[in-house]
């Protein structure tokens, strides 16, 4: 039981926000990737049968919390790898892909940067996600497909590795950085502050979002209803409006 | 009745001790010596620790050099609006660190109030080690200012009066009498500010970013490692706790060795 105390602490942390649920409507807790914030909040407002409480952060941080004993009802990540890993570890039930997204080059609204090769120019300030967070891992996939010299020049311009997409959005929106890699939906959510430049199709990675019910959830039915509404029900429209694509297949 | 209160005090002390010590003890229980050594072999952890020591030392030097005369001024002068000034100086104490980070961006960021002025002066703070120092000074200085001001206010007026009668000006009184006498309290304030700076996370991440060797201090490296390398993050936490405890203990011993006059 080396991890016993930490498990207990992490669980207490996760549950600390769960008090005060009314008997009439069950409350489910959803740990979701930061890039889902806009869409999921809009979605929760349309659900009649349940109250939804969110914990948004980098998908990798949320997965680590679950591995350390946190027990939300649902876990939604910006890739399908992390949900699958949790499922293999016996912590998540039947993860499914529920949405697609695109990685784009994001710049402040007034920026003149339009293409990837401009990021290699000396002095350009680039922000990317940490290697562990999905957006950072997709970014590295893109960079890996570039010629070595260009990749090195861009990496040399990286000024910060942010824990999630919101960190990248913040640095760009405040004019602190010149360019970053984000999901198309993040740029939509940022409104007029950011602009997206599409990546060439041969570079663009497949971005699929996975969701699963956390083992031991006390609200399995409500959690399943939330998942269903994402692809078939009321939340589909909220997802579409936020710029998400339908899941693959 | 009196005995009952005594029991209550002891019980409260036991609860406080258990509550505050348990999480720290849990860290040490969870990390084996092997993991500890492995983490010290990790370049990112080493860079983060070295950077943390560097930026907290610089920040503390700035806080003490600028803050001590400020605290003296506030302790010895009565003027209109003094309460407002003291409140403003203490405000970072109650600001959430994320708010502090955004406030620093709004002031010193490229789009901030002083953005153009700093840019034309060739000063860059965001994404730079200097930016981390700025963030630390911002969040940690009130801890020192409060303590130093209280220390100067608690000085025996007769002592300062004696210094003046013997012909010393205010500067000399401050440097030769007030500071040496208040030294243990000033040291305690410095220790508090240093501890706050060492643990700083939110303002640093938002204002300065996170890049190994440049802006990624130990708390940022621990947060990054929580998801990807839990054992490493835990080990780095233990090292940080040990280093902090050693420095706090050292300061306490120095303060005891130099009792007030």
ipTM: 0.81
Average pLDDT over residues A134-154: 96
Sign of CA dihedral A68, A73, A79, A82: positive
pLDDT of residue B122: 92
Percent with pLDDT over 70 in chain A: 90
**Is B122 a domain residue?**
yes
For the entire predicted model, the pTM comes to 0.85
Q: Which of B27, B208, B227 to mutate to test the interface with A (most CBs of A within 10 A)?
A: B227
Three-class DSSP labels, A97-161: EEEEECEEEEEECCCCCCCHHHHHCCCCCEEEECCCCHHHHHHHHHHHCCCHHHHHHHHHCEEEE
Calculate the CA B72 to chain-centre distance: 19
Verify whether the Cβ–Cβ distance A130 to B224 is below 8 Å: yes
pLDDT of residue A20: 44
| Residue among A9, A132, A171 whose CB faces B228 most closely | A132
Average pLDDT over residues A66-81: 95
Q: Looking at domain A26-100+209-242, does it have CATH number 3.40.190.10?
A: yes
pLDDT of residue A55: 95
pLDDT tens string, chain B, 261 residues long: the values are: 678 999 999 999 999 999 999 988 888 887 777 777 777 778 999 999 999 999 999 999 999 999 999 999 999 999 999 999 999 999 999 999 999 999 999 999 998 999 999 999 999 999 999 999 999 999 999 999 999 999 999 999 999 999 989 988 999 999 999 999 999 999 999 999 999 999 999 999 999 999 999 999 999 999 988 888 888 888 889 989 988 888 888 888 887 776 554
Average pLDDT over residues A78-99: 96
Average pLDDT over residues A183-192: 94
CATH of residue B205: 1.10.3720.10
Please check whether residue B206 is in contact with residue B259, taking contact to mean a CB–CB distance below 8 angstroms. Answer: no
Q: Given CB atoms, is B24 within the 8 Å cutoff of chain A?
A: no
Is it true that A26-100+209-242 and A103-198 share their CATH fold? yes
Rounded to the nearest 10 degrees, the angle between the axes of helix B2-30 and helix A4-15 is 110
**Is B181 a domain residue?**
yes
**Is B46 a domain residue?**
no
DSSP string, chain B: -HHHHHHHHHHHHHHHHHHHHHHHHHHHHH--HHHHHHHHT-HHHHHHHHHHHHHHHHHHHHHHHHHHHHHHHHHH---TTHHHHHHHHHGGGTS-HHHHHHHHHHHHSTTSTTHHHHHHTT---TTSHHHHHHHHHHHHHHHHHHHHHHHHHTS-HHHHHHHHHTT--HHHHIIIIIHHHHHHHHHHHHHHHHHHHHH--HHHHHHH---TTTT--HHHHHHHHHHH-HHHHHHHHHHHHHHHHHHHHHHHHHHHHS---
Segments making up each domain of chain A, as ranges: 26-100+209-242, 103-198
Interface of A with B (CB under 8 A): 2-3, 5-6, 9, 58, 60-61, 63-64, 67-68, 125, 127, 130-133, 158-163, 167, 170-171, 174-177
Q: Given CB atoms, is B26 within the 8 Å cutoff of chain A?
A: yes
- Which residue intervals of chain A are DSSP H helices? 4-15, 37-46, 59-67, 81-88, 134-144, 148-156, 165-173, 184-189, 220-231, 235-241
Q: Which of A174, A175, A180 to mutate to test the interface with B (most CBs of B within 10 A)?
A: A174
Q: Number of CB pairs < 8 Å for A and B?
A: 80
In CATH terms, the superfamily for domain A103-198 is Periplasmic binding protein-like II (3.40.190.10)
Tokens of A161: 């590795």
Residue of B nearest to A1 (CA): B30
**Which segment of A132-141, A170-179, B62-71, B237-246 scores lowest on mean pLDDT?**
B237-246
pLDDT range class, residue A115, cuts 50, 70, 90: very high
Number of folded domains in chain B?
1
Range of the domain at B141: 54-214
**Which segment of A58-62, A138-142, B2-6 scores lowest on mean pLDDT?**
B2-6
Chain A nearest C-alpha distance from B10 (Å): 26
d(CA A142, CA A154): 11
pLDDT tens for A188-233 read 999 999 999 999 999 999 999 999 999 999 999 999 999 999 988 8
Question: What phi and psi values does residue B12 have, to the nearest 5 degrees?
Answer: -60, -40
Residues 211-240 of B with CB under 8 A from A: 211-212, 214-216, 223-224, 226-228, 230
pLDDT averaged over every residue in chain A: 90
**Is B190 a domain residue?**
yes
């Amino acid at each position: 039981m080396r991890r016993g105390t930490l498990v207990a602490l992490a669980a207490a942390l996760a549950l600390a926000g769960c008090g005060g649920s009314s008997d009439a409507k069950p409350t489910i807790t959803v740990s979701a990737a930061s890039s889902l914030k806009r869409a999921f909040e809009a979605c929760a407002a349309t659900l009649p049968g349940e109250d939804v409480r969110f914990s948004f952060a980098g998908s990798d941080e949320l997965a680590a919390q679950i591995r350390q004993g946190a027990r939300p009802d649902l876990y939604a990540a910006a890739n399908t790898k992390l949900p699958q890993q949790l499922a293999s570890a016996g912590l998540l039930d039947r993860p499914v892909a529920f949405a697609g997204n695109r990685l784009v080059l994001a710049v402040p609204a007034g920026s003149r940067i339009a293409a990837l090769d401009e990021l290699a120019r000396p002095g350009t300030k680039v922000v990317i996600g940490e290697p562990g967070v999905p957006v950072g891992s997709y970014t590295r996939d893109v960079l890996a497909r570039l010629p070595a010299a260009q990749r090195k020049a861009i990496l040399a311009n990286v000024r910060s590795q942010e824990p999630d997409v919101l960190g990248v959005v913040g640095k760009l929106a405040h004019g602190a950085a010149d360019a970053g890699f984000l999901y198309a939906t993040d740029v939509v959510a940022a409104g007029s502050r950011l602009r997206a430049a599409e990546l060439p199709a041969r570079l663009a990675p497949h971005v699929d979002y996975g969701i699963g019910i956390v083992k031991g959830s006390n609200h399995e039915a409500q959690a399943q209803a939330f998942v269903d509404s994402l692809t078939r029900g009321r939340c589909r429209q909220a997802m579409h409006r936020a710029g998400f694509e339908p899941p693959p297949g | 009745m009196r005995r009952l209160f005594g029991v209550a005090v002891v019980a409260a002390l036991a609860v406080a001790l258990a509550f505050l010590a348990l999480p720290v003890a849990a860290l040490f229980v969870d990390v084996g010596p092997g993991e500890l050594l492995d983490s010290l072999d990790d370049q990112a952890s080493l860079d983060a620790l070295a950077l943390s020591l560097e930026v907290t030392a610089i920040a503390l030097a700035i806080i003490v050099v600028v803050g001590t005369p400020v605290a003296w001024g506030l302790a010895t002068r009565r003027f209109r609006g003094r309460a407002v000034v003291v409140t403003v100086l203490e405000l970072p104490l109650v600001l959430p660190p994320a708010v502090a980070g955004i406030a620093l961006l709004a002031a010193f960021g490229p789009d901030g109030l002083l953005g153009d002025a700093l840019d034309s002066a060739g000063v860059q703070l965001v994404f730079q080690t200097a930016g981390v120092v700025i963030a630390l000074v911002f969040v940690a200085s009130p801890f020192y200012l409060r303590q130093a001001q209280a220390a100067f206010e608690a000085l025996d007026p007769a002592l300062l009066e004696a210094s003046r009668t013997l012909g010393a000006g205010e500067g000399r009184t401050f440097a030769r009498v007030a500071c040496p006498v208040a030294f243990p309290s000033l040291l305690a304030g410095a220790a508090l500010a240093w501890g706050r700076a060492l643990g700083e996370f939110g303002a640093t991440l938002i204002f300065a970013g996170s890049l190994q060797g440049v802006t990624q201090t130990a708390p940022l490296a621990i947060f990054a490692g929580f998801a990807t390398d839990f054992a490493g993050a835990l080990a780095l936490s233990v090292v940080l706790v040990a280093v902090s405890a050693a420095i706090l203990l050292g300061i306490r011993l120095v303060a005891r060795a130099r009792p007030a006059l």
